[in-house]
Structure formats: structure tokens, C-alpha cells
Amino acid sequence: MPTTTSHSPRCATPRRRAAALVAALLLPALTATPALADEKKDDKGRPPAQPPARMSTVGGELLGKPGTQVRLGPGAPALPKELTGRSWLVADAESGEVLAAHNAHWQLPPASTLKMLFADTVLPKFPKNRQYKVKPADLAGMGEGSSLVGVKEDQTYSVRDLWLGVFLRSGNDAVRVLASMNGGIPQTVKDMQAHAEALQAKDTHVVSPDGYDAEGQVSSAYDLTLFARSGLQKADFREYCATAYAKFPGEMKKDGKRDTFDIMNTNRLLTGANGMTAYKGMAGVKNGSTTNAGNTFTGVAQHDGRKLLVTVMNPENREANEVYKETARLLDWGFEAAGHVKPVGHLVPPPGVADRTGPSGVPGTADSSQASVAGSGGGMWTAVGITLASLVAVAVAGFAVHRRWPLPDRSRRQG
């Protein structure tokens, strides 16, 4: 697909890269505001086709306005033209600066991207080597057509196995088992909602921990980006969401042997599957798709020491890979635009934790240092190591916001 960025798109073919280099750029208006429509849901319970006139202003006044928000400076590339997502956001993952956004606080069904909140809430509670035997009740109540990794009752799995099932295959069965370990679905929903509120993710209402369509279950591009940023502070979260392929346990045989089967991450910008090309520097985070939500995706990528988060929700273009293509275009734009745009807002830290304020006046911009990176032979970007020296943190009441955290190698490694 063509792109309007002025540098080579990181998931394009050489021919497309060459075409992109000579593409002419035009500066768009700083803010585009569409006509507003009735905010009532349609007869199928889906959200309206247009955003509400007033949305949350968490993170900045501009983020509460409908339409595209961007403040282009000298040398800034134009935003990509081919963006059809109902809502999207581009942010610096470390400083929290929001470089551009479109209907950032529009409350929409999140699909399985809500599993980022589930993981950020529940993952710290259980050691990865803990073993758990699945009970029949653990798998009860899953929605029709749920994505599954293949968890079987009366079989034993490690917590690590289950998290790989959540992140790679978006397995609602693995979610149900982990939720059972956490005290059940109602308790887990309660915990997730409390954690969302602690993160100031005020657009989010949790009904089901797996993101399956449920009446009243909503989030926003802004909130999903907050969940990703919070989760990426955790080494296990980074590992799981960056794993492209893994072995998952099968059923125990009568002779005591247990086979495994291969599972592949459904993030097509990570694996390059289903007609997509893997995006250089991609290291997670989570994709999703349901009837009401359409396709949703939050991705994190690193290039030349800069880490960007992009969330895209429900593209109007229904092509199978559209959510990934629009994410890739926004990542291309963000890497090119960084330093040439003024932030339109910021990703807020949790209550009681204050990012430092930089020259732009946006929290989190004072420390521009990045984790060390090196290019592998395959052209991938990887953090040098996970050490105390590579982490800069601000801690309050046990919560740490790491200003520098290494992303795992986006290699096709086995989990």
C-alpha cells in the first residue's frame, strides 16, 4: 500500500520504499473535525458511526476533541492519507508524548486488546513456573466462536504456558483458567476495573476479562495505549508479547508422555503472516477482532533507540490486514515526525506518580535518553540487556514507571 511518509516504510518492499522516497508531501490542516451524529447505539448494540461532541480530556484538552489532532512543525511529514480507523493514537512509549491522535477518547468495543489490561492486572500475581491442573468449571461460559489455544480440562499447565496462550493465540480458554486462579471471573473483572481506574483509564468499562463482546464493555485508543505502556514495564509482559512462536503442551498420554504443538502469534506485524511483512522493530503488543469491535490493534516498535506505541480501532476499510497496514503507516509517520511535531497531549502516569516535564511542557519529555540498541544481522533492533543500569524509574507507593525499558528481540524465537 502506498504511504505518505517521506522515508522508507519499514514493512514495505524495495519497490514501495523507492516510491515512498519520491512521494510529494502536503501539510494538512492541524485539526479536522467531522460532523457529529446521534450518540445512541444502533439496533445491534454497536456504537455510533461518529464520535460524541464531548469526550474525556485526560491527557490534554485536544485529546477530548473529535477528529484528527496534530501540530505539525517545520520539516514534519504529512499524516498518511489512507487512515480509516474510527480512533487511533501515536505516542512516544517512554516520554508519553502523544504525537497525533484521532478521536482518542472515543469509547468503543475493544475486542481482545482488552487482554492487555487483563495481563497487566493478573500477571504479577503468579510465578511463571507455578503448575495448575485445569478443572471443568474453569472453561465454562466462554462465548461462542471464542479464540482458543487448546487448553484441556484435567491437564496441568504452567502459568507461563497459559500466558503464552493468551498473548500468542489470544486464547479465551487460557484467560478463563488464569481468571479462575485469580478468584473467578467476577473478581477478575473487579480487579481489572480497579487497575484501569488507577491508571486513569476512565474510558474503560470491563465486563469480560477476555474482551469478548459484552453489553457496555468499552475502552478507547487512549486507554488501550495506557494499558500497553503499563504492561511493558514488566519483563514477563514484554517477553510474552514479543514471542512469535512457541510450543504449547498437548494432552498427557497414558504412557506418561506429553507431546507439544506449535502456536504462532496472531500479531501479523510481528510474524509477517497472512500476506503481511513483519515490521522492523516490532515487539508486540496485542490485536483483537470481534463483531462489534471490528479489528483493533496496539503495537510497540523500536527504531534508532526510539520506541513508539500506536493503537488503531475499527478501520472502516474491512480488508483483512487493514488494521496492521494503518498501524504500520502511523509508525512510519511517527518515527519520521518525532522532533518535528508538538505533542497534542500525553499519556498520564498513575495517580501519585509524576513524569518530569520537558521543554515542550508535556510531562515526561525531560529525559530523552533511550535504551541501548543494536541491529542484528536480520535488520532487527534489540535491547542490549535487562539490567538495573538500563532502567530509570520513578517509584511511588510501590508503582514504578520505567523511563527506559528494553524491548525484546523481535526474532522468530521459540517461546
The 10s digit of each residue's pLDDT in 183-208 is 999 999 999 999 999 999 999 999 99
Report the pLDDT value the prediction gives residue 143, as an integer from 0 to 100.
84
Q: Active-site residue numbers?
A: 112, 115, 170
Q: What is the mean pLDDT of residues 285-310?
A: 96
pLDDT at position 353 is: 55
Query: What whole-number percentage of the chain has pLDDT above 90?
Result: 67
Q: Looking at the predicted structure, is the pLDDT value of residue 396 above 50?
A: no
The full DSSP string for 110-144 is: -GGGGHHHHHHHHGGGS-TT-EEEPPGGGGTTPPT
- Please state, in angstroms and rounded to a whole number, the distance separating the CA atoms of residues 372 and 390: 8
Residue-averaged pLDDT of the chain: 80
Quick one: pLDDT at residue 368? 27
Least confident of 72-81, 167-176, 368-377: 368-377
Q: What pLDDT does residue 249 have?
A: 96
Phi first, then psi, for residue 331 (nearest 5°) are -65, -45
Mean pLDDT over 244-248 rounds to 97
Around 190, how many Cα atoms within 13 Å sit in the side-chain half-sphere? 6
- pLDDT higher at 27 or 221: 221
pLDDT computed for residue 24 by the predictor: 31
The three state secondary structure string of 351-383 is: CCCCCCECCCCCECCCCCCCCCEEECCCCCEEE
Mean pLDDT lowest for which of 112-116, 143-147, 297-301, 387-391?
Answer: 387-391
Q: Decide: helix, strand or coil at residue 302.
A: strand
**Per-residue confidence at 100, pLDDT binned at 50, 70, 90?**
very high
pLDDT attached to residue 330: 98
**pLDDT recorded at residue 394:** 23
**In what helix (H) or strand (E) does residue 265 lie, and over which residues does it extend?**
none
- pLDDT bracket for residue 145 (50, 70, 90): confident
Question: Of 112-126, 234-248, 330-344, 357-371, which gets the smallest average pLDDT?
Answer: 357-371
Q: Sign of torsion, CA 401 111 168 276?
A: negative
* CA–CA distance, 269 with 251 (Å, rounded to integer): 31
Confidence of residue 14 (pLDDT cuts 50, 70, 90): very low
pLDDT of 352 reads 53
Enter the C-alpha cell of residue 293: 469491535
Residue-wise pLDDT for 344-395, tens only, equals 999 998 655 555 433 333 333 333 222 222 222 222 223 322 222 222 222 2
Work out the average pLDDT over 160-175.
Answer: 97
